[in-house]
Structure 1
Amino acid sequence: MLNLLEQHPELAASITCNPVVYDFLQNSLTDGLWYWNLLQPAEGWVNAAFWQTLGYAPDQVPADPAAWRACIDPTDLAAAWQRAEACAQDSSQEFDLVLRCTHHEGSSAWLRCRGVVLRGNGSSTPWLMGALFDVTKEKYKEASAQEVATHYSSILSNQSVYIVKTDPQGNYTYVNDFFYERFGCERDIIGTSSLLSIVEEDRPKCLEVVIQCFQAPEVPHQVILRKPYRDGSVKSNHWEFKGILGEGGKLTEILCVGYDVTLLLENLQRAQHLLDVTSQQNIRLQNFAYIISHNIRSHSANLTSLVQLLSEAKGKEQKTMFMQMLATSTEQLADTIVNLNDIVTINNNVSKPKASRALKAEIDKTLDALSVLIRQHHITVEVAVPPALTVTVVPAYLDSILLNLISNAVKYRALDRPAFIRLQAQATPEGVVLTVADNGLGIDTVRYRAKLFGMYKTFHDNEDARGVGLFITKNQVEAMQGTISVDSEVGVGSTFTIQFHENP
């Protein structure tokens, strides 16, 4: 400062004679001082604080007195000169500008310059006395804030996502143009309840997410909600709700960002439908294999027995009887094979293979197919099923179920007493209930309860037992949304109960 006063005695005179200049210097805690000749702009002076603010060490300060000019942006320097000239013409104007400067490291720095225009005693040369303040941090913060504001503004005006704000009560306080356009809302939607624009069935989900926003604010909560579009369609939208806290830590608004996921959900539903169809088809193919390996064997055994009896028959009358029985058995086998086609038919409606069947007629057909075995073993069969009673089933499955249960009753009959098989059925509010009871060997249900309907599980020592019959039966009953259970006691017999649900 002393160096400045020695070089510019007019400034010393101004400080001595002009209290404004003295107060300016006295009250300015500066990051630099600047003294500039407005008539000869190349002439000027800056103090050591100026260079220090711009990152120069004492031994790095340029020797050229005019070196300070290179540190200030030329455009800003010209603006400063014009402003100072205006202040020289009109003392009522203030000099207050922000100058862009180049830091010693090459980065940008900003210095705010507040100054006064001075003239020494008897001198007409105007000089600018400027106090410099480092506002670099403030400028960077301002730029960052502007960037955030620009980014936020771009989000709000986004034409691919919906931006909605509501107050804590759920009333609209802001919606972006994209929301207005897609949903066909009027501008007077502001202040109305956002809940009313949601499909009624989805409103409980929306309220649940709003409660989560209160319980865990500043954390995104996701939900899919349906809204009616301006074209009358209903679209599904994925929303992210976030409770925004204001002063005092209280929730002041809820920010909602959403986008259309209707096509995505439709594709997922199609994929799930295809998966369901494929799963059902796999079940049918699996049952096809089971029936081929197990049920056809029963028909084959019956035919083999008939052929043997036919070869041993004595007399025309006996041969005629066995030929009729053989014809009936082959017809039953043909029906079974035809019904198998339903299992492997590919269609989009997994319930389509079901059809209505008279239960007693189906039982009689199965008994006819097994008539040789039943007669051979002198088994009494009782059927208490109303002729008009129908069930809605997959025909091949019903054929397989009846064949399995009745043939098992024949196969596992007790040899120490006359055998009987009793079939009963009745309609109930839940559907048709069929029971197949016998007085055969019985099963230890306490011991085998968990394995009873398992695959390859056998409970007796019969040579032809394969352990797949009950597994097939349970699988097929459940494939038709039915249920099967068993009550059995060793040495007493078994009763199988099947519930057919009427859902064609």
Structure 2
Amino acid sequence: MIKVPHITSSTYLIKQLPTPTAFIDSNYNIVLTSNKWSTTFDRNLERSSSKNLFSVFPKLNQKWKTVLESCLKGQPQLMGVHQASDKNDNELWFEWTTAPWYDTHETIIGVIIQLNNVTDTINNELELKKKDVLLQQQAEITKIGRWEYDIINNQLTWCATTKAIHEVPPHFTPNIENALFHYKEGHSRNAISMALFEAQSKGKAWNNLKLQIITANGNEKWVKAGGKPIYNKGELVGLIGTFQDIHDQVEADTKFLDNEKLLRTLIDNLPVNVYIKDTESRKILVNKAECDYLGITDPNEILGKNDFELYSFASAEKSREEDLQVMRSLKSIISKEKVNVKKDGKETTFLSSKIPLIDNKGIAYGIVGISLDISQLKEKEDELRNIINIVSIQNKKLLNFAHIVSHNLRSHSANFSMLLNFLETEKDVEEKNKIMVMLNEASNNLLETLDNLNNVISINTNTNIEKKEVNLNDKIIDCNRNFATYLLNNNAQIKNNVPPNFMVKSVPTYLENILSNFITNAVKYKDPSRNSVITLSAIKNNNHSILTISDNGIGIDLKKYGKKLFGMYKTFHTNKDAKGIGLYITKNQIDAMNGKIEVKSEIGKGTEFKIFFNDKN
């Protein structure tokens, strides 16, 4: 730190300086001040201590450190005008000047700061500027008249503009009585009368009273009136004021409000969602349909909010990208199909249009959005597509069924015809008895075929099947009990891993048949080298209850038989009990319940069936 030289001999002279003066060291600490400085600023001499200049004057602009640094280098300059508070907290303006402070060796050890009080000058300049601004503003305003009322002489004066507004001739001499008479009777006349009374009795001014007058020509006009009292040595001597014709403005505002109300009525009654967003994708206007969709009654609940506050993050992110695309490219997006997901998870499909709002400089300042809810149409479309798919599947089934019926009944018919021909021509009684046994067996086969065909017809034509909540675990236990002897005789076992309270939506009789068929098939087609193990498990996933039935049997060659696996009378093994009807009926029952079935199999290792029960419909 620079050592401050001995300055006692000159202290007296410094104290007597006529202007506020301070000596500061190179660290901007105040070392010595004049009496004028102390009497101006110091409260208990607090600014005479070695405080830093910038802590004493916290409002002093920090960039002025550069000026002080220049002065310390021997380059003094004017710091400028700065406002500071005196010891009585009065705000004063000072012009600051600087000079280097040299020691006896002509070395700069600090800065001398002198202040010149320019408060009056600054205030006069500010007042002058205010008057200039007021005059400029008044000059820019058209059709503003003036008036003045001399109370002592009871004389009212109107300027030419005020007379023109009242539609009176230039030589017209107004007075208080006829001036008040021009105001429309009722609210307008009562309001101006009260304003005049309070101005004279209470010294109260009035501003921007919007009133109606009746002109000399009988025309109604909207005007804006203002006035204030004038005093001379505390005595009220008159009133002055302004008078403005605002009829066209009021008419325009009224028309605008009517148009706005009409437009709002139209927008609110449109059967589509309408909204306006700003550049930050915040909603600044919404119609009733948009409010209804978001489940609110007061638009203010969503105004100012963006999509991230109203929809899921994924939906909001896509919407924001579209908004930016429209505002950047200035090209509209018309009737784009999109899915919105609200915070509660509800999905809605819209045909959405977004149109850029463009200012006169060609820059987008927001977008107009129009969205048509087509969720019900999409549901109907999906239903129609499902119906078409079902009809197509049913047609294929019908053709296949007709072919099967034709083929099987023709086979039975040919067999009967051949046996009857043999019976007619055969003379030997023993041979006839053998033919009769064969005819009886053929009859039984025909009845079995008809019974199978009847089951298939019943499944595919029963449109009133009723699904119920069924405990899957209970049904498996019942099935295990019913087939206990059959399982024991075939060294087979069931591993039931289904949770105790696992419920599925199913036709109870169909579920029993499905379980019976898959379990008996697993035993029927077991691997002769090992005991049969049938494992059942179940899970819930995407509106489906999924039952998995796996075995360790001989397996199926799916590459060879996969497409024919669920066909009628299709067999894939040499097992003499295979008839090819069980899987066909089971598949039809699962289809009838709007479910599906999947299969995995490997020769020599076993087969796994997944049955999907539709929990939704």
TM-score, normalising length: structure 1: 0.42
Q: Which one has a bigger Cα radius of gyration?
A: 2
Q: Which protein, 1 or 2, shows the higher relative CO under an 8 Å CA cutoff with sep ≥ 6?
A: 1
